[in-house]
């Protein structure tokens, strides 16, 4: 996935009200741009750090740009825009990069399902039956370690999705939790038990019910981001 038009570089002044970020461009322009990330962005954002944003010329938009990439205090790059994860995964699925999910005959996005009225990110059709794939974008890393964690804030919605997947698995339907790790320098993923112990327990319960857990890493710079490798999953940290 290439960024087009090209991203612009800036310096982060501050992020506030969850969805707003003030930046200063290389040319000295001060802008308030959209931050498309509902999480805490723990260990990611740093005031004065480098950011890259996409600019919009749409006169109907309230804000002139969208924060796309940032640099962590550890010097790693991360994708701020969580909406990119599903596009990345679809691109990788179609290219056969995610080998565990290869061989599908049809792909549908945002399909309604479940006992709690959810929508699955991807429903893949195979000759032997469907697979339901839930995608989560991971950006939480820690200094001195190559293990990322999810979530970066308490997520009841995330636990709900795991319960839905567990119901499918118990009924003999293939169910997959896929972590798209949009953070460079990472080799493995674990549940962030210190942040949301209920989510960590729900993940382990889902696995016990037959839910598959996959994690894939992303090659990322200010020009392009591509899913390119499988990562280890560590259920117990």
Q: Encode pLDDT of 107-141 as tens digits.
A: 999 999 999 999 999 999 999 999 999 999 999 99
171 vs 164: CA distance, rounded Å: 11
The answer to whether 158 and 194 are in contact (CB under 8 A) is no
DSSP for 187-234, written as a single string: -EEEE-TTT-HHHHHHHHHHHHTT-EEEEEEEEE-SSBEEEEEE-EE-
Domains annotated on the chain, with CATH: 8-79 (2.40.50.580), 84-233 (3.40.1350.60)
237 pLDDT higher than 80: no
> According to the model, what pLDDT value does residue 119 have?
96
pLDDT attached to residue 104: 98
Residue 134 contacts residue 176 (beta carbons within 8 Å):
yes
Q: Is the pLDDT of residue 58 over 90?
A: no
Arithmetic mean of pLDDT over the chain: 95
For 5, 33, 100, 135, 161, the CA distances from 82, given in Å and listed in that order, are 19, 15, 23, 10, 17
Reported for 197-200, long-range contacts at CB under 8 A and 24+ positions apart, including other chains, are: 198/154, 198/159, 199/150, 199/151, 199/154, 199/155, 199/158, 199/159, 199/162
Q: Is the pLDDT of residue 43 over 80?
A: yes
Q: What is the pLDDT of residue 38?
A: 84
Within a 10 A sphere around the Cβ of 173, how many other Cβ atoms?
Answer: 15
Least confident of 17-21, 58-62, 160-164, 208-212: 58-62
- pLDDT grade for 73, boundaries at 50, 70 and 90: confident
Q: Determine the pLDDT at residue 47.
A: 87
Query: 3-class SS at 160?
Result: helix
Model confidence at 144, pLDDT cuts 50, 70, 90, reads: confident
What per-residue confidence (pLDDT) applies to 199? Answer: 98
Question: Where does the pLDDT of residue 29 fall: very low under 50, low under 70, confident under 90, or very high at 90 and above?
Answer: very high
The region, left, alpha or beta by phi > 0 then psi within -120 to 50, assigned to residue 191 is beta
82: Cα separation from own chain's centroid: 5
């Amino acid at each position: 996935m290439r960024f087009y038009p090209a991203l612009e570089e800036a310096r982060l002044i501050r992020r506030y009200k969850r969805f707003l970020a003030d930046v200063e461009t290389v040319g000295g322009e001060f802008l308030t741009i959209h931050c498309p990330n509902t999480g805490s962005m723990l260990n990611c954002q740093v005031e004065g750090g480098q950011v890259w944003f996409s600019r919009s010329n749409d006169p109907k938009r309230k804000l002139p740009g969208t924060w796309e990439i940032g640099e962590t205090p550890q010097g790693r790059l991360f994708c701020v825009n969580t909406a990119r994860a599903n596009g990345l995964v679809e691109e990788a699925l179609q290219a056969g990069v995610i080998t565990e999910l290869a061989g599908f005959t049809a792909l549908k996005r945002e399909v309604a399902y479940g006992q709690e009225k959810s929508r699955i990110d991807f429903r893949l059709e195979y000759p032997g039956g469907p697979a339901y794939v839930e995608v989560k974008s991971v950006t939480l890393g820690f200094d001195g370690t190559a293990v990322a964690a999810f979530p970066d804030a308490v997520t009841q919605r995330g636990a709900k999705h795991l319960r839905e997947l567990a119901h499918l698995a118990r009924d003999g339907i293939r169910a997959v939790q896929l972590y798209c790790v949009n953070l460079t320098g990472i080799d493995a993923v674990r549940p962030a038990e210190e942040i949301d112990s209920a989510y960590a327990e729900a993940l382990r319960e889902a696995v016990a019910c037959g839910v598959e857990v996959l994690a894939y890493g992303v090659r990322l710079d200010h020009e392009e981001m591509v899913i390119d490798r499988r990562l280890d999953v560590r259920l117990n940290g």
